[in-house]
Amino acid sequence: MSTAGDLKLLPKQWLEEAKVLFPVLSEFRRELHRHPELSMQEVETTRKIKAFLAEEGITLLPLDMPVGVLAEIAGASEGPTVALRADIDALPVQEETGLPYASIEAGRMHACGHDFHTAAILGAAVLLKRHAHKLRGKVRLLFQPAEEKGTGARVMIEAGALEGVEAIFGMHNKPELPVGTIGLSTGPLMASVDGFKIKVHGKGGHAAVPDAAIDPIVAASAIVGGIQTAVSRNTSPFDRAVVSICSFHSGTTWNVIPDVAVLDGTVRTFRQEVRHDMPDRLHRIAMGIAAGYGAEAELSWFSGIPSVDNDAAAVETVRNAAQALKLKITEAVPSAGGEDFAHYQEKVPGCFIWMGTSGTEEWHHPKFTLNEEALIPGAALFALTAVQALEKDR
Ligand SMILES: [Zn+2]
Ligand SMILES: [Zn+2]
């Protein structure tokens, strides 16, 4: 019998070991929760993660970045490398949970639960390290900064974090799902996130003499309504997309028609084809409407992160591990939010899952909480997923 066979036979043991580890993981998570750090400022968080890994005898890999951690667990024999990823940053939110371990840093909070992701992946790392002598291949650990800014994954990739990696796995806590349930699906799970700015140029004048002016506010108002048709009239009802104008700036006072109006917005899509067509479509609509009012419009496009798109084989690996652990699996409901885990999936096949945490509030809410007991299935699932991914092509 292969050593891998031994590992596969013991799903219950992974959960039992994770249960024993729970107090340590909870304590670590609470320490991060008390001292949240914002994107690209995760200096102390980085130090704490490194200290934890070093204590467990897990090898830290060089990473030419001020924040973020790269580590690796080598098995006893040659084989592929698979990666587990956690994000580590917090948000500029004033915590209102009243928890005994609530943030003591003014205006900063782990309101997206990245402290939980970090602790769960550390738990998986400890379990894997303990069984490393039975492992084939290597498990790379990515503790990524600046997910909330959508920039951390790219920086990690540029620093070489994915070198040699054949598959990657990650999670986000999901308040709506109970502890012990995961949300899993093949294909798009989270939206691409792009931004745009539309500048409408008119001709200023006296408020009482509109006929001598070209009012950019009226033209821009029509554009706000008009570009919604990029979703309702141009996107298939079987695709999903969002266009939101979130800022509208024009004018300085009550009796002067201004020259210019500026709109800022975001586009969320789930399929590459839909995303690809959006800039041109919005530009055409904005220009056409503006022209109808005698004004001119220009559109600037800011490409953000692609959509999280789960690879079918990677999903199956997670599904098998979750089933072995007797976790409940539900079809993951996609989110129009973005996740820069998508950048890793542009490079290697991967799977991003929802981890049920029986939360009370949505992500980013000042009263956001989660049930820490989800650290147990979280650590066990990611450990077993890594093992099964390493054994896959055997
Ligand atoms: Zn977030
Ligand atoms: Zn998050």
pLDDT value for 165: 98
Ligand 2 center to residue 292 CA distance, Å? 42
Q: Which residues of 343-377 are buried (b: 16+ CB within 10 A; e: fewer)?
A: bbbeebbbbbbbbbbbbeeebebebbbbbbebbbb
Ligand 2 center to residue 235 CA distance, Å? 28
CA pair distance 24, 123, nearest whole angstrom: 9
Ligand positioned closest to the Cα atom of 116: 2
Ligand 2 center to residue 172 CA distance, Å? 6
Ligand 1 center to residue 265 CA distance, Å? 19
CA pair distance 123, 375, nearest whole angstrom: 8
pLDDT value for 2: 44
CA dihedral sign of residues 381, 82, 153, 63: positive
CA pair distance 146, 156, nearest whole angstrom: 10
Ligand 2 center to residue 180 CA distance, Å? 19
CA pair distance 35, 280, nearest whole angstrom: 44
pLDDT value for 7: 54
Identify whether the C-beta of residue 246 lies closer than 8 Å to the C-beta of residue 265. yes
pTM of the predicted protein model = 0.91
Ligand 1 center to residue 105 CA distance, Å? 18
Ligand positioned closest to the Cα atom of 149: 1
pLDDT value for 1: 40
Ligand 1 center to residue 364 CA distance, Å? 6
Q: In angstroms, how far is the first alpha carbon of the chain from the final one?
A: 13
pLDDT value for 3: 46
Q: Return residues with CB closer than 5 A to ligand 1 (ion).
A: 112
CA pair distance 300, 135, nearest whole angstrom: 50
Tens of pLDDT, residue by residue, the chain (394 residues): 444 445 554 788 999 999 999 999 999 999 999 999 999 999 999 999 999 999 999 999 999 999 999 999 999 999 999 999 999 999 999 999 999 999 999 999 999 999 999 999 999 999 999 999 989 999 999 999 999 999 999 999 999 999 999 999 999 999 999 999 999 999 999 999 999 999 999 999 999 999 999 999 999 999 999 999 999 999 999 999 999 999 999 999 999 999 999 999 999 999 999 999 999 999 999 999 999 999 999 999 999 999 999 999 999 999 999 999 999 999 999 999 999 999 999 999 999 999 999 998 999 999 999 999 999 999 999 999 999 999 986 5
CA pair distance 372, 24, nearest whole angstrom: 12
pLDDT value for 269: 97
Residue among 34, 114, 71 at smallest CA distance from 386? 71
Identify whether the C-beta of residue 101 lies closer than 8 Å to the C-beta of residue 355. no
CA pair distance 46, 335, nearest whole angstrom: 29
pLDDT value for 120: 98
Ligand 2 center to residue 112 CA distance, Å? 4
